[in-house]
Amino acid sequence: MTDFNLDPITAVIKAIASLATSPIKYQLERNEIVIQLRKKLNLAHDHPPSDFTAVYRYALVEYGADKLVEYEADKLQLLLEVFHQQEIIQAFRQAFEQNNQSILIRKGEDFLDWNILGDRVRELKVDIGKEFIDFQSVFIRVANSTRTPADVIQIQKIDNLKEILGAITNRLLAPQLWNSYVNLHGVEGLVSFEIEDIPNSFGVAEPDDTERQQIRLGQGFRLAYQLPFAGYALLMQGFSSSWVFTRLGKCTDSTLDKKTRYIQERIAVVPAVSWSVPTNTSYLREKVDIGVHRFVLLLSQKPFPEIIQEMIVKETTELSLSALNTLVEYIEDDPSSITLLVTECDIIR
* Residue 37 shares a structural domain with residue 69: yes
Final residue in a domain of this structure, among 184, 205, 238: 184
Whether residue 114 lies inside any domain: the answer is: yes
**pLDDT the model gives residue 103:** 65
Final residue in a domain of this structure, among 184, 207, 222: 184
* Residue 198 shares a structural domain with residue 163: no
Whether residue 264 lies inside any domain: the answer is: yes
State pTM to two decimals: 0.51
Final residue in a domain of this structure, among 158, 184, 210: 184
The rounded Cα 92 to chain-centroid distance in angstroms is: 20
* Residue 154 shares a structural domain with residue 226: no
Buried b (16+ CB within 10 A) or exposed e, 162-199: eebbeebbeebbbbbbbbbbbeebbeeebbebebbeee
* Residue 42 shares a structural domain with residue 152: yes
Q: What is the pLDDT of residues 258-296, one digit of tens each?
A: 999 999 999 999 988 888 888 766 777 655 578 888 899
The rounded Cα 328 to chain-centroid distance in angstroms is: 9
Whether residue 2 lies inside any domain: the answer is: no
CA-wise closest residue to 298 among 270, 319, 325, 278: 270
Q: What is the pLDDT of residues 35-94, one digit of tens each?
A: 777 777 777 666 667 778 888 888 888 888 888 777 888 888 888 888 888 888 888 787
Q: How many domains does the chain have?
A: 2
Provide the residue range defining the domain that includes 229. 188-348
Whether residue 167 lies inside any domain: the answer is: yes
